[in-house]
Structure 1
């Protein structure tokens, strides 16, 4: 698999599946010896998680032309990604009826595994959605975010628009993509004292693994504690 260019995470996923299968056969007495017993997972080298700064987010918003429909839509999408941390495929799957402005929540669906969850939205996000929906008007499609041709916006179109806006805004050092907004949402939530279980529920993670990564990277407690045990601080005091 490595020779064919498969990623470490993909290889480990397949190894886990094969290992589980042979463990099952061994436990049922179907095989005399488990060939996966001594097969180890590959060490996954995790890439640094990139996030937007507040200045970069503001620059993106300033790059939008609010005099056009696409501008208002893109502006709303940027705020929505930042407010909810939803995945790109989830964003594109949201329907108008999924948005509950009065209760301040949005029903988010994962098209892949059919799981659903409610994600909270604040007053300013609700106000922006009202502005967008008024301009969007009544359409035959149920999709929340649409193109100028009144069709559901695609993942590729969202990625393309964000990349264009990032270039226009002069964003450097970070990829201007929907997933960067997801990371940024996680970072800002943790810095604002969000609980790990609440964050897991909002992000829709099936396990705590990724949430722990976010906490370890962004927790203000970790950064605050460093001031107390920093060797250099102690040495040069």
Structure 2
């Protein structure tokens, strides 16, 4: 037998019918979002994750306002509002993967509101995510990668730094946020490795250095020198920690100057995809690749294996020896 529950929207009616004067605490959408983001910070979520939630919920709010949804009481939201949000995003031309990220954020937010008893039901959870074709994004060819790495002017500090950064992306497959968070003490030249402390899944991991990356990083460290203003591994000419936007801009500029940008997108994530492609083509198993790249699960990597593995080519003739 289903358990009977008293919905929040009925409480005022019950109190009125019973002549009760008990006041109800009403939480607005904005108030609930503020509590949710604060909860994420207290829980220890990364700054990147909290900002991502903030960005997606801001977009959700924008659409709600455009659709004249009442945001003064979080209990007033309905399944229809979230379904309308998805439709408006599709009509606006957003990618299905982007819409799914926003919908998943809304569902996590809804779960939080239910746990806090701000509302009785998470109506976002009733809206299904969109079906997405599993495709692999752009990657560099070996020739394109060589042209990119040949572009920086190594007679300048910035040129050596950018070359080292691009080589690190190419040889480790690390994320942009991971690279810009590396401090000098995270680099172990004696052990020929980097210990990533600030990762997406919050699990530190050790990344060995290739011989060529070790050699290049050794030279970069000598040019960088030691100063008291910052411990960041990669810095600007003014001894400030380099930020994500600068790295993205510099890679794009080298892509433009080399001509690679006219052929394929040039970004840290394309380096990451390329790293996965080359490792799979070289026969590295998926679990080792997962450890190197810091994936929480191998779901995404399975797509790379399906496209780039040569196992099927090797297996196609086996069992076909008949006359």
Which deviates further from its counterpart, 139-148 or 3-12? 3-12
Deviations 1:6-38 (A, max 9, x none): 54234434655777878xx9xxxxx8x997897
1:83 aligns with 2:176: no
1:95 aligned residue: 183
Rg: which structure is higher?
A: 2
> Do the aligned partners of 2:135 and 2:303 also contact (CA within 8 Å) in 1?
no
**Which residue is 1:202 aligned to?**
292
With 42-51 and 91-100 compared, the bigger mean Cα shift is at: 42-51
Deviation at 1:147? 0.5
Are the counterparts in 2 of residues 82 and 185 from structure 1 also a CA contact under 8 Å?
Answer: yes
Cα deviation for residue 53 of structure 1 reads 1.1
The superposition leaves residues 91-113 of structure 1 with CA deviations (integer Å, 9 ceiling, x where unpaired) of: 11011111111212111133555
Q: 2:142 aligns with which of 54, 61, 65?
A: 54
CA 1:36–1:99 in 2, change beyond 3 Å: closer, same or farther?
closer
2:250 equivalent to 1:161: yes
Q: Whose relative contact order is higher, 1 or 2, with alpha carbons under 8 Å and at least 6 apart?
A: 1
5+ residue gaps, structure 1, are 26-30, 230-237
Q: Among 224, 229, 248, which residue is 1:136 paired with? A: 224
Matched, 1:65 2:168: no
Per the alignment, residue 308 of structure 2 pairs with: 218
- Kindly indicate whether the alpha-carbon contact (under 8 Å) linking 2:281 and 2:309 is maintained by their aligned counterparts in 1: yes
Residue of structure 1 equivalent to 2:44: none
What is the CA deviation profile of residues 142-188 of structure 1, one whole-angstrom value per residue up to 9, with x for unaligned ones?
Answer: 10010011011111101111111111111132111110100010011
Structure 1 contact 216–222 (Cα < 8 Å) conserved: no
Equivalent residue for 1:187? 277
TM-score (norm 1): 0.82
Which residue is equivalent to 2:235? 146
- Per the alignment, do residues 8 and 104 of structure 1 end up closer, same or farther by CA in structure 2, a change over 3 Å counting? same
Q: Distance in 2 between matches of 1:93 and 1:34?
A: 36
Could you say if the C-alpha distance between residues 183 and 112 of structure 1 is closer, same or farther in structure 2, counting changes exceeding 3 Å?
closer
- The SS at the match of 1:124 is helix
Question: 1-side partners of 2:317 and 2:276: how far apart?
Answer: 23
The correspondence for 1:127, drawn from 215, 220, 241, is 215
Structure 1 residue 70 displacement after superposition: 0.4
User: Could you tell me whether the CA contact under 8 Å between 1:51 and 1:180 is conserved in 2?
Assistant: yes
Root-mean-square deviation (CA, aligned residues, Å) is: 2.8
**Structure 2 gaps, min length 5:** 1-84, 115-119
Indicate how the Cα distance of structure 1 residues 135 and 10 shifts in structure 2: closer, same or farther if over 3 A, else same: same
Call closer, same or farther: CA 1:95–1:48 in 2, change over 3 Å.
Answer: same
> Could you tell me which residue of structure 2 aligns to residue 235 of structure 1?
none
8 Å contact from structure 2 (residues 154, 160) kept in 1: yes
Question: What TM-score comes out, normalization by structure 2 length?
Answer: 0.61
- Alpha-carbon distance change, 18 to 163 in structure 1, aligned in 2, over 3 angstroms: closer
